[in-house]
């Protein structure tokens, strides 16, 4: 435990409000975790899976109304609304504290409050930041034990300092109408109530490592981004690092754990995973941008994960994993999800825990008829990933050569293009758009602008966030080059044209060749696009003409997009930096030329 008076008095205050029966400190030991798993199994909160096939694996089901992040109920409570900006929900902090106090009062009666001291980043490293989450959910404790670094060493590293992020989570009644995910950046405080789902309750993840951290990063001169980090190893052993921002459920985990196509594998190419969701980036002494993954595990999308799409992720989930809202195969007490294989279990419970009939599956009503919820997830330890990078625990992180933005665009965006420079690259990030996915509640498949894949995660004014990107560009002497990719262009029948997954490596190679000055490019109105001949398609059943199609830039579609961007900039409001408008005008002028 600790003598830190800031920690102890805060816990006293929170306990006085929530009134738990008892308080248990989480020490990070296996014994304690095992006892908690046993307790959760005894109450039905967890289901112990087949320990021969899936050692130390468990299944959890959330409430049916609580299956994704709730952006509409997520708030940034800065003293003024202007600081939070137009993209975030805002409420006056005092008003919000008063509202929350009512919801938390007595919320833990009859329950246990767990105190989780955790670190985002390697404990004791320059990058690390500490947090304490108070929760009444064993599921949250067990997930935090996988996703973050938990234990007494965190309290030792914190010492007497008040410098930690306070997080209070109470399940309360899981009442949708009173569900709140609230951030008070000035108070280093996160409060979550009436949810039990992933990003709403694992407070180290989106709440701390993105929303609060982005706010701190701006103050302290670094960046917190919704990015994977991977290392691409060449046959000669050299490794180049890339970070990439795609919106939720748009392919970060898949790209981070990519297995190169056979042609490249045989030559000795490899890909190493440093992170699949969040990157903290700082300028190194050598003037390059260095990245760490502050997390310790993966909270990955289950559906679509299989032996072909992402064998590394699948292997990672074979032990020590908590599955959330997947299908339960009763015959062998294992799990299943859509896209795992073509053999849906015949004797199974769906994600709601009801008897499931796979013959009724209707892809137009996935939530209603699927075995696994479309946003069902696995929580798995990074250490169990076959391709985890040897730099995973590095104290300094890895140097980034290229930053990639990307989204799901059926038409407009080409397979890949490069920005002209950092400012233009920031603009490219600011105009990112993607079709929405099941990772957040709401309609799926609607195009929305999602700047830097951070629309739901910037802890302050979006316009100021872009300004911060521009400022960072000025203090990184050897800045990464900025690119944009789109794996999701479709043909007239709606089929994906690009094979994606492992074959995305072919695009990464062009990107790194550009960074090394080894590849030419065509200058187009939107940026530098590869010559079709420069995308290596060895061993791939796809024609040069198809590649040309994938790389084409449709001026009419882009001009329509420009109008949409103007509206979006207006929505972001008067903090949009002048440089972004300059870039928008220049883009329009180039398209009209």
> Which residues of this chain interact with ligand SPV, rule CB under 6 A?
69, 198-199, 205-206, 248, 277, 299, 439
By CB under 6 A, residue 293 contacts ligand GTP:
no
Dihedral, 327, 330, 335, 341 alpha carbons, nearest 10: -80
Phi-psi region of 268 (alpha: psi -120 to 50; beta: other; left: phi over 0): left
Question: Does the active-site annotation cover 250?
Answer: yes
What does each C-alpha distance from 335 to 60, 253, 422 come to in angstroms?
11, 20, 45
Least Å distance, CB 248 to Mn ion, is 5
Q: Which stretch binds Mn ion (CB under 5 A): 100-108, 274-282, 314-322, 390-398?
A: 274-282
Number of residues that bind ligand GTP (CB under 6 A): 21
Total residues found in the chain within this entry: 593
By CB under 5 A, residue 277 contacts Mn ion:
yes
Picking from 14, 322, 277, 350, the residue whose alpha carbon sits closest to that of residue 139 is 322
Picking from 396, 334, 317, the residue whose alpha carbon sits closest to that of residue 371 is 334
**Choice between 240 and 373, CB closer to ligand SPV:** 373
Q: Which tokens go with 527?
A: 């940026």
Q: Show the site string, 345-384: x = touches ligand GTP by CB under 6 A, - = not.
A: ----------------------------------------
Q: Which of 202, 291, 439, 454 binds ligand GTP (CB under 6 A)?
A: 439
**Choice between 276 and 329, CB closer to ligand SPV:** 276
Which of Mn ion, ligand GTP, ligand SPV, none interacts with 254 (beta carbon under 5 to 8 A by kind)? ligand GTP
Helix (H, G, I), strand (E, B) or coil at 264: helix
Cβ atoms 110, 139 nearer than 8 A: no
Q: Show the site string, 267-286: x = touches ligand GTP by CB under 6 A, - = not.
A: ---------xx---------
Picking from 223, 242, 293, 298, the residue whose alpha carbon sits closest to that of residue 458 is 223
By CB under 6 A, residue 297 contacts ligand GTP:
no
3-state SS string over 202-255? CCHHHHHHHHHHHHHHHHHCCEEECCEEEEEECCCCCEEEEEEECCCCCCHHHH
**Choice between 221 and 445, CB closer to ligand GTP:** 445
Least Å distance, CB 300 to ligand SPV, is 8
Could you please report the per-residue DSSP string of 163-198? -SEEEEEE-TT--GGG-EEEEEGGGTEEEEES--SH
Least Å distance, CB 247 to Mn ion, is 8
**Choice between 192 and 418, CB closer to ligand SPV:** 192
Total Cβ atoms within 10 A of residue 423 = 19
Total Cβ atoms within 10 A of residue 89 = 16
DSSP state of 482: E
Q: Which of 77, 250, 327, 515 is catalytic?
A: 250
Total Cβ atoms within 10 A of residue 74 = 23
Tell me how far apart the alpha carbons of residues 183 and 201 are, in angstroms, rounded to a whole number: 12
By CB under 6 A, residue 180 contacts ligand GTP:
no
Q: Show the site string, 220-249: x = touches ligand GTP by CB under 6 A, - = not.
A: --------------------------x-xx
**Choice between 60 and 69, CB closer to ligand SPV:** 69
The residues in 457-516 that bind ligand GTP, with binding defined as CB under 6 A, are: 487-488, 496, 500-501, 504
Hey, which residues are catalytic here?
250
Enumerate binding residues for ligand GTP (CB under 6 A).
246, 248-254, 276-277, 300-301, 304, 309, 439, 487-488, 496, 500-501, 504
Enumerate binding residues for Mn ion (CB under 5 A).
248, 277
């Amino acid at each position: 435990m600790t003598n830190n008076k800031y920690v102890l008095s805060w816990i006293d205050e929170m306990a006085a409000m929530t009134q738990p029966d008892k308080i248990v400190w989480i020490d990070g030991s296996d014994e304690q975790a095992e006892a908690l798993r046993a307790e959760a199994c005894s109450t039905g909160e967890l289901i112990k899976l087949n320990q021969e096939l899936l050692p130390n694996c468990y299944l959890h089901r959330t409430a049916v109304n609580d299956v994704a992040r709730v952006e509409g109920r997520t708030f940034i409570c800065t003293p003024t609304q202007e600081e939070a900006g137009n993209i975030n929900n805002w409420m006056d902090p005092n008003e919000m504290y008063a509202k929350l106090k009512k919801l938390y009062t007595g919320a833990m009666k009859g329950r246990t409050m767990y105190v989780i001291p955790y670190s985002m980043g390697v404990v004791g490293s320059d990058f690390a930041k500490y947090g304490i989450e108070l929760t009444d959910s064993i599921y949250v404790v067990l997930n935090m034990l996988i996703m973050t670094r938990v234990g007494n060493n965190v309290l030792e590293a914190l010492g007497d300092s008040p410098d930690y992020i306070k997080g209070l989570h109470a399940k309360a009644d899981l009442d949708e109408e009173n569900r709140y995910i609230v951030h008070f950046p000035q108070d280093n405080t996160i409060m979550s109530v009436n949810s039990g789902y992933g990003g709403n309750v694992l407070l180290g993840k989106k709440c701390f490592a993105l929303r609060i951290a982005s706010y701190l990063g701006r103050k302290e001169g670094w960046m917190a981004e919704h990015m994977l980090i991977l290392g691409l190893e060449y046959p000669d052993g050299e490794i180049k690092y890339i970070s990439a921002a795609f919106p939720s459920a748009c392919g970060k985990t898949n790209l981070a754990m990519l297995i190169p196509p056979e042609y490249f594998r045989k030559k000795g190419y490899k890909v190493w995973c440093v992170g699949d969701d969040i990157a903290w980036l700082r300028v190194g002494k050598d003037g390059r941008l260095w990245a760490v993954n502050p997390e310790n595990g993966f909270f990955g999308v289950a559906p679509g994960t299989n032996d072909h799409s992402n064998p590394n992720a699948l292997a990672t989930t074979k032990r020590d994993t908590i599955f959330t809202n997947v299908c339960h195969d009763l015959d062998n007490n294992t799990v299943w999800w859509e896209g795992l294989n073509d053999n849906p279990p015949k004797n199974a419970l769906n994600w709601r825990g009801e008897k499931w009939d796979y013959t009724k599956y209707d892809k137009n009503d996935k939530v209603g008829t699927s075995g696994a919820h479309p946003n069902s997830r696995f929580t798995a330890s990074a250490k169990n990933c076959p391709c985890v990078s040897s730099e995973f625990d590095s104290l300094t992180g890895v140097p980034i050569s290229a930053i990639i933005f990307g989204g799901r665009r059926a038409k407009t965006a080409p397979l890949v293009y490069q920005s002209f420079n950092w400012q233009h690259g920031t603009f490219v990030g600011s105009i990112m758009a993607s079709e929405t996915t099941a990772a957040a509640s709401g309609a799926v498949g609607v195009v929305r602008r999602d700047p830097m894949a951070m629309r739901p995660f910037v802890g302050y004014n979006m316009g100021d966030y872009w300004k911060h990107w521009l400022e960072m560009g000025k203090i990184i002497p050897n800045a990464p080059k900025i690119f944009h990719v789109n794996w999701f262009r479709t043909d007239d029948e709606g089929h994906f044209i690009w094979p994606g997954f492992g074959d995305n490596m072919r695009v990464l190679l062009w990107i790194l060749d550009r960074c090394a000055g080894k590849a030419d490019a065509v200058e187009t109105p939107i940026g530098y696009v590869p010559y079709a001949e420069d995308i290596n398609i060895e061993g791939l059943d796809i024609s040069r003409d198809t590649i040309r199609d994938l790389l084409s830039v449709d001026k009419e579609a882009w001009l329509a997009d420009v109008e949409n961007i103007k509206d979006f900039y207006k929505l972001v409001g008067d903090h949009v930096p002048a440089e972004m408008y300059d870039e928008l005008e220049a883009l329009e002028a180039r398209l009209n030329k």
